[in-house]
Every structure is written in C-alpha cells, then in structure tokens.
Amino acid sequence: MASLDSALKDAMSIDGAIGVALVDYDSGMALGTLTDGSTELDLNVAAAANTDLVRAKMRTMQMLNLHDNEIEDMLISLTTQYHLIRPLTMPNGRGLFLYLALNRARANMAMARHQLRLIEAGLEL
C-alpha cells in the first residue's frame, strides 16, 4: 500500500505528467499536490474548479438513475494537455478524486489511465 506522497510521486512518473492532486470534492480542497515545475498550472485552483465538474457528473448520474455504475474517469482534452479525473471508489476514498494533468504531446492516454487505476488500487488513506 502506498502513502499519499508515494502515490503522488508515482503519478508524476507517468509519461507526460505535469501535475497531480488528490482532491476532496465535498470541500474542493487539495489534500496533496505535486508538479514537475514546467508549467504555471495552479493545482489548488484546478482542484477547486474540477470539484464542480465532479459534483455535476455525480448529480447527473443520480438523475439518470445510474446507481449500478461508477465513474472510472473523466477526460478533458485541451489542445496541449489532457486532464484526467479519477474519483476514488474504495470505501475510505469516497468523496475524493485524483486529478492528473498531462502534456498531450508526451502522454499515452491508455497507459495513463491504466497507471492511475493501479495507483488508486495501491493508495492507503
């Protein structure tokens, strides 16, 4: 099992990673962040803003009665970046999500999703 710091470091080892955060979507606060320093990405602002997106999707799923489904991840494609949001599904991770920003030119989205899933599985909170 990986600690939060270890999980954030593992996420930053994903090809193309420029920043990662573990976020509480009830409060919008980042519980931990890490960047590569190559960009001016403010992960605290991104955490708060993406909280609205996660909440909206959770409400949409309730309105559509999709109770037997869970969000695996959400992808936002920008011209130079990918932003990957992965709500945690483990019992002690409810209400949290991993947010990973990637350099689009260097990232492999399939591998990033796979590696983020493994990081979630090993995360100890």
Domains along the chain with CATH numbers: 4-92+110-122 (3.30.450.30)
- Could you tell me the two tokens for 108? 């492999």
Q: What is the rounded distance in angstroms from the CA atom of residue 47 to the CA atom of residue 45?
A: 5
Can you tell me whether residue 34 is helix, strand or coil?
strand
pTM of model > 0.95? no
State pLDDT tens for residues 58-101.
Answer: 899 999 998 888 899 999 999 999 999 999 988 777 889 999 99
* DSSP codes joined into one string, 99-119: EEEEETTT--HHHHHHHHHHH
Q: For residues 62 and 71, is the Cβ–Cβ distance under 8 A? A: no
In eight-state DSSP terms, residue 91 is G
